[in-house]
Each structure stands twice: as structure tokens, then as C-alpha cells.
Structure 1
Amino acid sequence: MSTEKELITAIIVTYNSSKFIEKCIKSLVEFWPSGYYRKIIVVDNKSGDSTKKVVGKYRNKNIDLLVQHSNLGFSKAVNVGIHASLQSHYFLLINPDTVIRRNALLNMVQETKKRRAGIAGGKTVGFNGQKQGDHFRKINLSVGIFDFTNLRKLYPNDYWHKYFYYEDVPASKNTVDVDGVTGGFMLITGKTVNKIGYLDEKYFMYLEDMDYCLRAKKAGMQVIYVPSATARHFGGGSSNNRSRSNSDAWTRSRSYYFLKYFNIIENFLMQPLFYIDSISDKIDFPLKKLWSLTDLPNFPLKFPILNRLFTDAHKLFGLEKVIAGSDVVHVAETYYGYTHQSIVAKRRGLIKKIVSTVWETIPHNNEGIRGRKQYKQYAYENIDKFLAVTNKAREALIKEGVSDHKIEVLKLGIDIQKFKPKIKRDKGGIHILCVARLVPEKGVMDLLEAFLEIYKTNKKVWLTFIGDGPLKQDLKGYRNVTVRKVPYSKIHNEYQQADIFCLPSRKTKTWEEQYGMSLIEAMATGLPVVTSDAGGIPEVCGSCALYIKPGNVITLKKNLDYLIGNKSIRKSMGKAARLLAEKDYDRMKVAKRLGEIYWSLASR
């Protein structure tokens, strides 16, 4: 055994972890093994609490605080820590809500040396003394189905969950070889990092530990579980204590892991299950998720193929059984698969009335696919109430033969208490925001072109695209241009930091902007709007926007320049936009009217 005094670097990733981080640091300092150099790196993922202040008290304890400008996720943040201490002999990954016990780290290091292992994990227990899932087997298809989805509830005695966590065998008091250990209390040797590299940053959170262990084993290194290295883990100290099944990160990580390690047929089975999982937990009222063809993994020409095979891919398997006995069933459009299913259920006497929200503004659109005209004709005859979101949608229905007395224009609303103006700090420039799918028809390339012309003479302007799509990479790489995704729960913050909103949508033969929810969100937040006169946009925004003809970059630049240079105009347009949102787009007013429609139909 080498007598060289070796360096151990502990990496703690924090995100709003002020409640826990101090106890974690104290335990590391107190129980750090003698004979080893100590370095502790805290990588903070832009916490909004006092985490940075708490860590700052320990700067004289060989603790480095690396503050990030955004939430990088776990894998990327760990890699930041590793990169900052590449000379280290060992890296200890430890969650901020974890407290190590005496000799825990020493035992991990000694067992790693003894077995010449590449990765070691310790035993974690909750503060109530309950054993936690700290080591596990390689994921097989059965584990994926019966432990990684809600189908777990269907399997008697939770067998595959126990199998995955080695709970089907007696617990060992001695160090054992395993397939994987938790990244919340994991020791990685410097040699392992040199051989297989960093953690896979495509995992934002969850399964990055399993992935890294599999890569180590594939490279010929051992992964061991050391039960004599114990720690107490509170849980949720960096993930807001959200159940993993409720987390979008958990869904994405499962999906990516299976794409990486399983074959096409297995992914064809598993991918829909991941996205079906636990959706009802995110909704404030009962929700039953039914499987649809749309849940199939993406493949080239997915929807054109499915629509031509099945008339429309939006079929919900088992829908008739679920809606049987309903007084009112609310669907969407006239040609969707589940709309047709509801009509068939009504004709069979299973339900009483049908309401359909209609967005389509192009008469006789979507009729080129076999069976679509028949679907529409059945809808005209059997739907009891059509709720057109705009007058243009209403006119399209009338041109297709729907009786005017069956149609009502009911605009869609938003939470105007969430989307509301906020006093902005003077940032010394103008921030333009676009929230949209990053596809050609949304006019995002037109906006980029106009912005780059503006930037030539005005360096104090910024453009932010919020969204995802095939043009994402084409929009990146320009000065003062940012492209990113933001969870919808936080999207209102983006509007509140902007000065101008722009959505220059284009038109095609079969598509135009039917409504534009982001336009309403922007107006509710008190933003002046620059947009096109495509589809239903002029009806939605009224006099609260500056308009261009779709694709007219010259006029787009002119309108943006006008708002950039006129603060008073921006202010007056924003104020008018907010008043319009309060008047027409308050979801509570819309909900009240919708309830009246339901009661009227049900009482007939």
C-alpha cells in the first residue's frame, strides 16, 4: 500500500440546500480520515436561498464554492467539481442532505484500495433509521416495467423492486461486488475518471450513477458496496423533495437510459410507459391516462404514417369504457380520433352530450387523409356544442356546414394572477423575448435575421428564444442571442424580465397561427407585442400589437426598432395589453362560462 499522502475531494452539488448543507460540511470536516489531504468543493446550481451564505462561513476549511449561473443538473455540476480538482486521488460524491458517520470515508477508501475497485458506495439510512436504496443491480426489462413505472403497483409483493435493490438476498455486513451504487454517497477513484471520463451530462438528474457504474464495469473495474461506511440521508435536499415519478427529469432520464442500453423492440414497449407515468399526480383533479398511438417513440414521418394508417393518431385505447355514463364529454376539433370515438359512444347510447373546442381556422383543412371527411361529417351531425376559440374558427365551421346556432365563441384563458407585470430593474438595454416551438412556421428565423440587423447599430439589445425544436441549433452561436428551455412553472419569470415580446408567425397552405397562447401570456404580463397578422392573431391581440405581413423581415425590424426607441410607447402598449388580458383572457371568467354551458347541456 502506498505511503503517499493522497488527496480526497468531496463534491457536493447544492440547489436551495441551506437547510442541510451545514450539517453535511460539519460531518465531513469532523470525520475526514487522518493521513489524507482534504478538499471540499460545493457546486451551487444557482440557489435562491441562503446556501451560498452558509457555505461561505467555511471558506477557511479548504472549501471552494463554485457558483453556477443556472441550474446545470447533477451530472454536469459534478463534472464541474471533478474538473476543478483533477489531481485528486479520490472523489467523494455526497448529497448536501447527507451526514457521514465516523470512519465512513476511511472505510470506503480502504476497501477500495484492498479490492482495487474503481467505484465504491456506502450504506445510507434515513434519519428515522430506515434503510435506503443505496446499491442496485443492472436494470433489466422486468425492472424497467415493474419498478420504473406505475405498473409496479400491479406486481404482487413488489418483487422486481426488491430484486433491483438486492433486497431479495440477505443483507451482507461485508463488502460485496454490485452492479451499481447511489451517486448520493459514492467514491470514485482518480484512475476511474482518467479511464472512462466524466459523468454523462445528458442525465440532468437520476440514473447518472447507474450509467457511470456500468461504464466502469465495462472498462474492467469493480464496483463495490461497503456497508461499514455509513451515512444518514434526509432526502430531497437538492431536488425539492419531489417524488421521482413526478419529475420531468426522471422521465427524461429513464427514456435516455433505455435508448442507450436497450434495443429497438424493448424501447418500443417502454418509452410510452415512461411518459404515461404518474401524469395524474400533476393535475388538481382526477385524471386517467389512456394509451394512444401518439405515445409511441418518435420515428421519421411518425404522424403522417400513423394518420394514414388509422385516419387519425389521436385515438385513446379504452376510452369508451371510461366515458360510459357521462352526461357531457368535452373533446377537441372535429377529426381527432378520440372525438370520433366519443361520437360512436354517443350513437351507442353510452353518453349524452358532446362539446368540442375547435381551433382550426382554415375551412376544409385536414381532409386529404382517407376517412377524415367522414369523421368531420359525423362531428357536424352529433356534436351538441362547438366552442370556437376565435371568430375565424367559427367562420371556418360555418363554411364546412355546421349550423351557426350550435357554435359559440369562447376564448381560452390563462392565470392572470401568475402572468402579471412586475417592476423591472434597469438592465441598461432592451430584452426581446420569443416563446415558441422552434420551427420555421413560427417565424423564428425571421426574428433572428431582424435582430441581427438591429444589433449592427445597437449593442444594447438582447434576444431570448424559449422553446425547443429542429431550428434550435440554427438559432445558437450569435452575440446577445440566447436559446433555452424553461419549465412552464417558471415561464412567467421570463416574460416579467422582458421588454418586448415577438412572435412573427408565418403561414403555409395547411397551417396558420390559430390562437397563440404565448401572445396572451405576454399581454397579461404587460408586454408590448410585435407579431404577424396570420390566422387568428389579429383577433387575439386586437390593437395591442404591432403587425407585419408573414415573412416581412424589413417591417419586423422597423417595428422592433420603433419599440426599442420609444419607452413611452412600450409602456402604453403594455398597459393596454394587460387590460385586454384582464377583460378577455382571465381563466376564471372562461371557466365560469364553460360551467354554464355544461349545466345547460346536461339539463336538456
Structure 2
Amino acid sequence: MIENNKETVCAVVVTYNRKDLLIECLEALRKQTRPLEGIYIIDNASTDGTPELLKEKSYIKELPPENLTEPWEKEFEVKNLVDDKPIKIHYVRMHENTGGAGGFYEGVKRAYKEGYDWLWLMDDDAEPKKDALEKLLKVRKHYCVSALASLKVNINGKVIHPHRGYFNFKNIFNGIVKPFDEATLGRRYLKIDHASFVGILVNREAIKKIGYPKKEFFIHYDDVEYCIRLRNVGEILLIPKSIIIHKEAAKKGIYKRFLWKKSLRVPYEKLWLSYYSVRNLTWLGKKYGTSKIHFYYGLVKNYLRKIIGIILFDDNKFKRIKFFTNAYLDGLKGHFDNEKPKKLLYKED
């Protein structure tokens, strides 16, 4: 447990099968001009040799046991690269892949219980600039702050939308988060509604009030759901001078022209991931939508567009239609069975 009069900051990094990017992220965290007190590494049962590389790079001193049946945590220590003071490394090896939502649930829960004052959440492909944390904390005394967010850019320095912005609850199928105006980036800070789990610094007092991320989401929109709760207890401030680079891969797939728009056709073997996006967005729309007419109209329109696209362009048409129908229905009913998408697509009838 943390015993310190100084405010403490712990990064929470969720990783899965991106060991080289993870090391780059950790190196950037060690270079912060305002050094961290701790880093939680949540390894979502990676299969690419992540523990071995962490050991090779001296982030951990021993490997986790094989055939885990529950999460395994061990504490180690590294030096920051600014003043050589220690940073606690809390390595958590998950017994199964719980998705980004499950990983952040686990990391936030553990770091909160450890007593850290601020939790800096990010994916393994994030790289904060060396003064990112320092610039965030300069604004922390603003009244009623539940979270602070770095400006998220791609590797070319271009602002990534809509990973920071404002909620649109009127018709969530037209985009549940609307981007901010880049013309406002000259301000010291901006009040926003949403910041993705890449560079959002959360106050423990807010966590005390709202709890942890919703692990049942698995992936997609878990950050939106959490920010809705964060906004209920305080402000979320975007600090434009605090920069975090997100080296996320561009979406790959085949695009078809459909109803005057480009339509991404997802390969069948990767389709299972699309379930969580549809289910979680539908659930959010039903729970928080401000107009039932707009919500159900958008849902039907969205559903029909998917079905027509499948009929025109895709293989395994019957299974795809059944798959998306279940995703929408499960969102409406609030059913969260994260094993279901693979069963629907790949289990032999």
C-alpha cells in the first residue's frame, strides 16, 4: 500500500500481443519529466512472448507460472530515466484474454486499492511525450476534476478524432462522440465529455464514487461508458499541450461502395470482434439516448444497411445475418456473453 504525503501517479497499461510496442510505451513512461511512482502492466494472456521480453528488458525478474487459472501479480522495480528514483512495476498476468475492458477493469481496481492518487490509463501502443504528465498535473487543481486528458495524435502529429469530444445522445448511430473544434486548441484546457483510454488521467476520488470500468463490454465503447460516469461526478479536461502519440494500426479490409458511402467488409475470421461494437453501442443508446424515436430509427436503419451489405458483398451470409441480429438484440436486452460471437460464427452446427 502506498504510504506517501506526495500525490502519487500510476500508469495502467493494458497489453495483448504487441510486446515491442509495449516496451516503447514503458520507455516513454520512464522518461516523464514528472516521474511516475508506479506502472501496472496488465498482460491479457499474450501469446507472443511478452513476459519473456519484459524479463529480458529487466522490467520483471521472474516469469509467471504456466497454466494460470486466475490472475497472477508480482511487484518489481525499475529506475526512471530522469532522476534514477524507483518506479514500482506491478506486473499482472491474466489467465485469459479479458479484452481491453477487462484489462482496464483489472488495472484500475488494483491500482486504486494500492492507494495511488491518479491513474494514467493507456494502451500498449501509446507513447506519451516526455512532458505529457507534467503538463496534465499543472491543471489538476481546477475545481471538481474527475479526469484530465492528453491530446491524442497519430505518428504524423495529426489530431485523432473522435477520441476526444462531446457526447451525442440524440442519435448514437450517427456517432456517439462528436469531435471538438481544433480551433480551440490554443486554450489552456477544454471541457470535454469523453477521452478514450489512451492518455486519460483519472482522479481516485472519482473512482471512489463511480467504481471501475465495465469489464462486461470486453472491447469497444468501454471508455465511453466510463466517461459518462466520470462526467456525472466532475469535469473532464483536455490539456492540448500534453501530447500522447497513438500508434494504432489503420483499419485493414476491403471497402465497397454502398449507398453512396464506403463500406468496410470485414473478413469472416475477424468478424467476431464486430459483435462487441454493435452490442455495446446499442446498449449505450438504449440506456442514455435522449430520443427513443431517433434511437430506434437509427437502429433499424443501421441494421438494414448491414443486412443489405451482407447480401450484396459477403460470404457466409446466413451466419453473418444471424450474428449481427444477435448483437443488436443482446444490446437491447443487456445480455453480456462474451463467448457468444465466436460460438455464433465458428461453432459447427
- What TM-score do the two structures reach when normalised by structure 2? 0.71
Report % sequence identity. Answer: 19
Amino acid aligned to 1:130: K
After superposition, the Cα gap between the structure-2 partners of 1:275 and 1:229, relative to the gap in structure 1 and judged at 3 Å, is same
Kindly name which structure, 1 or 2, has the bigger radius of gyration based on alpha carbons: 1
Q: Give the structure with the larger strand fraction.
A: 2
1:216 aligns with 2:216: no
1:257 aligns with 2:296: no
CA drift of 1:190 comes to 0.6
Distance 2:305 2:42 in 1: 31
2:105, 2:213 within 8 Å by CA — same for their partners in 1? yes
Name the residue aligned to 1:90.
118
SS of the aligned residue for 2:152 comes to: strand
User: 1 or 2 for the larger relative contact order (CA 8 Å, sep ≥6)?
Assistant: 2
Name the residue aligned to 2:202.
188
Matches within 5 A, 1:346-495: 484-485=339-340, 487=342, 491=346
After superposition, the Cα gap between the structure-2 partners of 1:490 and 1:23, relative to the gap in structure 1 and judged at 3 Å, is farther
Distance 2:96 2:308 in 1: 29
1:122, 1:185 within 8 Å by CA — same for their partners in 2? yes
SS of the aligned residue for 2:231 comes to: helix
The answer for unaligned runs of 5 or more in structure 1 is 149-160, 300-468, 473-482, 493-516, 519-604
Distance 1:167 1:31 in 2: 28
Distance 1:21 1:277 in 2: 38
Distance 2:314 2:184 in 1: 40
Matches within 5 A, 1:12-411: 12-31=13-32, 33-34=34-35, 38-56=37-55, 57=57, 58-59=59-60, 60-61=77-78, 62-85=88-111, 86=113, 87-133=115-161, 134-142=163-171, 144-147=172-175, 164-167=178-181, 170-219=184-233, 221-236=234-249, 247-262=274-289, 264-276=292-304, 285=313, 298=329
- What TM-score do the two structures reach when normalised by structure 1? 0.43
Distance 1:83 1:14 in 2: 16
CA drift of 1:65 comes to 1.8
CA drift of 1:210 comes to 2.2
Distance 2:312 2:40 in 1: 40
What is the aligned-residue RMSD (CA, Å)? 3.7
Distance 1:11 1:109 in 2: 17
Across the two proteins, how many residue pairs are aligned to each other?
A: 289
After superposition, the Cα gap between the structure-2 partners of 1:230 and 1:189, relative to the gap in structure 1 and judged at 3 Å, is same
Distance 1:179 1:96 in 2: 24
Amino acid aligned to 1:136: G
Name the residue aligned to 2:6.
5
Distance 2:95 2:11 in 1: 21
SS of the aligned residue for 1:228 comes to: strand
SS of the aligned residue for 2:20 comes to: coil
1:16, 1:48 within 8 Å by CA — same for their partners in 2? yes
CA drift of 1:116 comes to 4.1
CA drift of 1:490 comes to 8.6
Distance 1:18 1:103 in 2: 24
Distance 2:45 2:309 in 1: 27
After superposition, the Cα gap between the structure-2 partners of 1:16 and 1:489, relative to the gap in structure 1 and judged at 3 Å, is farther
Amino acid aligned to 1:63: I
Distance 2:311 2:198 in 1: 30
After superposition, the Cα gap between the structure-2 partners of 1:284 and 1:215, relative to the gap in structure 1 and judged at 3 Å, is same
After superposition, the Cα gap between the structure-2 partners of 1:122 and 1:280, relative to the gap in structure 1 and judged at 3 Å, is farther
CA drift of 1:72 comes to 0.9
Name the residue aligned to 1:338.
none
